[in-house]
Chains A and B, each alone.
Chain A
Amino acid sequence: MATAAAAAAPLADAHHEELSFIRKYIFSTDHKIIGIQFLFASLAFLVLGGVLAILLRWQLGFPGEELPGVGTVAPKFYNSLVTMHGTFMVFFAVMPLLVGVYANYLIPLKIGAPDMAFPRLNMLSFWMFIQSGIVMTASLFVEGGAAGSGWTAYAPLSAVPQYTGASLGQQLWILSIVLFGASSLLGSVNYITTVINMRAPGMTLFRMPLSVWALFITAIIALLAIPIIAAAVIMLFFDLTLGTTFFLPADGGQPLLWQHLFWFFGHPEVYILILPAMGIISDVIANGSRKPVFGYHSMVLAIIAIAFLGWITWGHHMFQSGMNPLLGTSFMISTMAIAVPSAIKVFNWLGTMWRGNIRFHTPMLWAIGFVSLFTVGGLSGIFMASNAVDIFIHDTYFIVAHIHYVLFGGSLMAIFAAVYFWFPKMFGRMMSETWGKIHFVLTFIFYNLTFFPMHILGMAGHMRRIYDPTQYEFLQPYQPMNRFITISAILLFVVQLPFIVNFFWSLFRGKKADINPWQDNGLEWTVPSPPPHGNFAMTPTVYRGPYEFSVPGAEADYMPQSVPPSGSQ
């Protein structure tokens, strides 16, 4: 049982330098390389998800018209677009961008560990992710088309091929989700073990940066939620292929069982997508404000409270599903309760900026954008939490606006903050600040032009996932708005170009980065950029919390966690 000691000991093997290219960059077990692999892969999926979004937006803005160079969007293809846009964005872009990339990259560095607890499982996790991504992408091209039952795959629509016309596509969708789940599970086991067992001396739980806290709690949620969706899609798969009848009402199955299972996973999944973003934003705002995070302990408690409450609120997706109305009441109450810890977080971010000395570096701009837009998403959530109001706005564009304010305005803004913030550590070069700021301003503008009007569409009763809004008389007056949204969405897509160019240009040509370009306190900023295999030449010792900025009497306005207290030797 000497494993623990061996794993925690400083890793300074000389032969790491001699690894072949393939072992070093392709089948690497180094958590940093794996994090970077996740970054490239999931950014590619993000672009793919964006392309799908543009195609479906085209149909909504210009129904039946030909998209130059592509052609028209057929109704069946439209449903596949809706399904695959959601699927790619949730499972292959936002979730891996937050968890795959930053849990991998940051956890060991920030807690002072040489690597993950199980480096080979970590590698396996990445390659399973790639496999699942390939299967999902391939499903776009199979006969019968990709799955067309929505990313929520409501049964029996998803359980009988004749209902959507997609047969193989739906099966591949399930297969991909299972592979994805396995990958995510391996990752979670790794992250949790690493945080519990491999913190450097002095890195007590309440000295962990909020990003690590959030990623840790997220891993626990994923560990417990992913098996539920795995069980659900496997039953769905058996319904499709082996003749079981879990979700088929004609033979005793229950369609609502699918919805319960899906949302029992699905709501915690939403927190998998937002909690890490909140953690990252807390780190960046403290750094940008040069101040400690306001109310660190309540921030931690809020994360835990959100994670806990997330398990008892799934029914708010099912208010109109035919579930017992009394359950509707209890799910409203539990859902509303989540507004409290969410509000604490927003106010504490504002409190962090209050009386600060704010540096508007690019990551800070994205973090401010996050606070601004997440607030909108959080507030619009209250409308849906109200079971009465939900009767009207359920399955309308109000919901579409809400999820995009949370997952794009929230999560994706945090992802961009993280990319700009840790790019120098990952690649040893700075990204262009000027272009980063241009990217932020343009994204912020076109983001709001795209998604804010969707609230108004939703209030008008505009249904989600309909192919042609002009079919309805009451929606015809809103067609100019639909067109406006589509044009804004295209521009939103286009203004990501500066980011892509900046990213690749900086990768090779960017200014060389110092060890600590943002003057931050995390342990990752005490090692070279990029850090060597094994991270720390000597296991660091941690003496203080993560946010000791502008300590009165100190020389600099930051104080890395490994700086010993003055006075002691």
Chain B
Amino acid sequence: MDWLPGAASSYAADLDRIFYVILAITGLIFVGVQVALVYFIIKYRGRKGRQASYVEGSTKAEVIWTVIPAVIIVGIAVASQTVWSEIKDPNHFPTDALEVNVEARQFAWAFTYPGADGELGTDDDYIRYNQMHVPVNRPVVFNLTSVDVVHSFFVPAFRIKQDAVPGMNLRAWFEATEVGEYELACAELCGVAHGLMKGKIIVLSEDEFQSWAAEQS
């Protein structure tokens, strides 16, 4: 069952698990409701001489189908919250991360790397466009901004999506778990070429990444 795209980040499996749990629960309810519907249609189809039962309701039944969904919902909410704060809560961001600035504009991505001193905002920073090189198995925290309109940083394989809002500096993170190339897309309508605002995340082994970084500065 591979409906979600191949997962390649540390938290992708956690998110996928909730997705499939919800899919299973809702799938079951879906089948239940449709089967009941079809069954009622056949069983209670109108016939001459029959009369419908005069039933105005049943408190017991209604309590049951109020409480059960409520319980399910609470379960899903609790499970979701854990993963949500893992991915989005700045207090839970990994500390030993590579830090990169990401700037979105109509219609390109700019990635600013810290350079040899390992610090952003210094002279040896360098910028690469539309291609983001990152090391495998090491968290990357990025500061996301936009110079014009709202964009959205979306890497399907990493299960990360974060809007880039002009005037705001938003932080997000991911940790790629497999070497390879992954597509980056803009997920928020941002103008004429919104559909073409794509980039690549190139995940390298630690050694390869170091030598790539050395070449840049």
- What residues make up the interface of A, taking CB atoms closer than 8 Å to B? 75-76, 78-79, 82, 148-150, 154, 156-157, 160, 163-165, 249-250, 253-256, 289-292, 294-298, 320-322, 325, 328-329, 332-333, 336-337, 339-340, 343-344, 346-348, 350-351, 353-360, 368, 371-372, 375-376, 379-380, 382-383, 386-389, 391-392, 394-396, 456, 459-461, 463-469, 471-474, 549-552, 557
- The residues of B that contact A75 with a CB separation of less than 8 Å are 192-193, 195-196
Q: Are A156 and B4 in contact (CB under 8 A)?
A: no
Inter-chain pairs besides A295-B62, A298-B62, A355-B53, 20 sampled, C-beta below 8 Å? A79-B191, A149-B189, A255-B150, A291-B54, A295-B57, A298-B57, A321-B150, A325-B88, A343-B65, A353-B44, A357-B47, A388-B82, A388-B87, A391-B159, A392-B15, A395-B188, A459-B3, A460-B5, A464-B187, A472-B183
Which B residues touch A346, using CB under 8 A? 33
Q: Find the A residue at minimum CB distance from B91.
A: A325
Closest 9 CB pairs of A and B: A249-B167, A461-B156, A466-B195, A467-B195, A295-B57, A388-B83, A379-B26, A386-B80, A357-B52
Chain A interface SS verdict (over half): helix
**With the chains together, A551 CA to B53 CA distance in Å?**
8
Chain A residues near B196 (CB-CB < 8 A): 75, 467-468, 471
Q: Which of B66-74, B109-117, B134-142, B202-210 contacts A (4 or more CB under 8 A)?
A: B66-74
Contact A557 B62 (CB under 8 A): no
Q: Are A320 and B162 in contact (CB under 8 A)?
A: yes
A372 touches B53 (CB 8 A): no
Q: Once bound together, how far apart are the Cα atoms of A297 and B57, in whole Å?
A: 9
- The interface residues of chain A lying within 8 Å CB-to-CB of B82 are 388
- Return 11 A-B CB contacts under 8 Å, by A number: A79-B194, A321-B150, A325-B89, A343-B66, A350-B36, A356-B53, A379-B30, A456-B3, A463-B185, A471-B198, A474-B183
Query: Which range holds the interface residue count of chain B?
Result: 35 or more
Question: Would you give the 0/1 interface string for B115-154, flagging 1 where the beta carbon is closer than 8 Å to chain A?
Answer: 0000000000000000000000000000000001110101
On whether the beta carbons of A296 and B57 are closer than 8 Å, the reply is yes
The CA of A459 and the CA of B53, in the complex, are separated in Å by: 44
In-complex Cβ contact of A148 among B44, B154, B192 (8 A): B192
Closest residue on chain A to residue B4 by CB atoms? A459
Q: Which residues does chain B contribute within 8 Å of A157, judged by CB atoms?
A: 149-150, 189-191
Residues of A within 8 A of B214 (CB): none
- Residues in B with CB closer than 8 Å to A160 are 148
CA gap between A408 and B160 in the complex, in Å: 30
Is A348 touching B77 in the complex (CB atoms < 8 A)? Answer: no
Chain B residue nearest in CB terms to A156: B149
Q: Does chain A have a CB within 8 A of B85?
A: yes
CB-based contact A255/B167 at 8 Å: yes
- Residue of A249, A290, A325, A379 touching B52 (CB-CB under 8 A): A290
Q: For A467, what are the chain B residues with a Cβ–Cβ distance below 8 Å?
A: 193-196
- Are B40 and A254 touching (Cβ within 8 A)? no
- B81 proximal to A (CB < 8 A): yes
A440 to B4, CA, bound (A): 33
> Which residues from A are CB-within-8-Å of B23?
383
Given known pairs A355-B53, A389-B80, the reply for A350 and B37 (CB within 8 Å) is yes
Q: Are B168 and A391 in contact (CB under 8 A)?
A: no
| Structural contact, A465 and B189, CB atoms closer than 8 A | yes
B45 to A: closest C-beta gap in Å: 5
Residue numbers of B with Cβ under 8 A of A are: 3-5, 14-15, 18-19, 22-23, 25-26, 29-30, 33-34, 36-37, 40-41, 44-47, 50-58, 61-62, 65-66, 69-70, 73-74, 76-77, 79-85, 87-90, 106, 148-150, 152, 154, 156-157, 159-163, 165-168, 170, 183, 185-196, 198
Chain B residues lying within 8 Å of A78, measured Cβ to Cβ, are 195
Contacts of B149 in A (CB 8 A): 154, 156-157, 163
Contact A354 B188 (CB under 8 A): no
CB pair A388–B18 under 8 Å, yes or no, is yes
Give Cα distance in the complex from A294 to B54, angstroms.
10
The one of A79, A292, A296, A325 that contacts B90, using a Cβ cutoff of 8 Å: A325
Residue of B at shortest CB range from A337? Answer: B73
Q: Can you name the residue of chain B whose Cβ is closest to the Cβ of A164?
A: B191
Chain B residues near A336 (CB-CB < 8 A): 73-74, 76-77
**Neighbour of A332 across the interface among B51, B81, B186, CB < 8 A:** B81
Across the two chains, which residue of chain B brings its CB closest to A459?
Answer: B3
Q: Which of A332, A353, A466, A472 contacts B194 (CB 8 A)?
A: A466
Q: Are B44 and A395 in contact (CB under 8 A)?
A: no
From the candidates A298, A380, A392, A552, name the one contacting B159 in the complex (CB within 8 A). Answer: A392
Smallest beta-carbon distance B200→chain A, Å: 10
Q: Which residues of A lie under 8 Å from residue B89 when comparing CB positions?
A: 325
* Nearest CB in chain A: distance from B93 CB, A: 11
Q: How far is the CA of A469 from the CA of B195 in the complex (A)?
A: 8
- A395-B154, A473-B183 as given contacts; A557 in contact with B51, CB under 8 Å: yes
Q: Could you tell me the distance between the alpha carbons of A230 and B159 in the complex, rounded to whole angstroms?
A: 36
How many whole Å from B101's CB to the nearest CB in chain A?
16
Contact assessment for B88 and A391 in the assembled complex, using a CB-CB cutoff below 8 Å: yes
For residue B18, which residues in chain A have a CB less than 8 angstroms away from its CB?
Answer: 386, 388-389
A433 to chain B minimum Cβ distance, whole angstroms, is 14
Closest chain B CB from A65 CB (angstroms): 16
B162 & A322 in contact (Cβ 8 Å cutoff):
yes
Does B62 contact A163, Cβ atoms closer than 8 Å?
no
Q: How far is the CB of A380 from chain B (nearest CB, A)?
A: 7
* In the complex, chain A residues whose CB is within 8 Å of the CB of B77: 332-333, 336, 386
Q: How far is the CB of A268 from chain B (nearest CB, A)?
A: 21
Which A-chain residue is minimally distant from B83 (CB atoms)?
A388
A351 to B65, CA, bound (A): 11
Q: Which one of A76, A387, A459 lies within 8 Å of B192 (CB-CB)? A: A76
Closest to A380 in B: B26
Whether B40 and A354, one on each chain, are in contact in the complex, defined by CB atoms closer than 8 angstroms, is: yes
Beta-carbon nearest neighbor of B160 in chain A: A391
CA distance A394 to B19 in the complex (A): 13
Residues of chain A lying within 8 A (CB to CB) of residue B159: 391-392
CA gap between A550 and B77 in the complex, in Å: 43
Write the nearest CB–CB distance from A511 to chain B, whole angstroms: 21
Q: How far is the CB of A158 from chain B (nearest CB, A)?
A: 9
**A358–B41 CA distance with the chains assembled, in angstroms:** 7
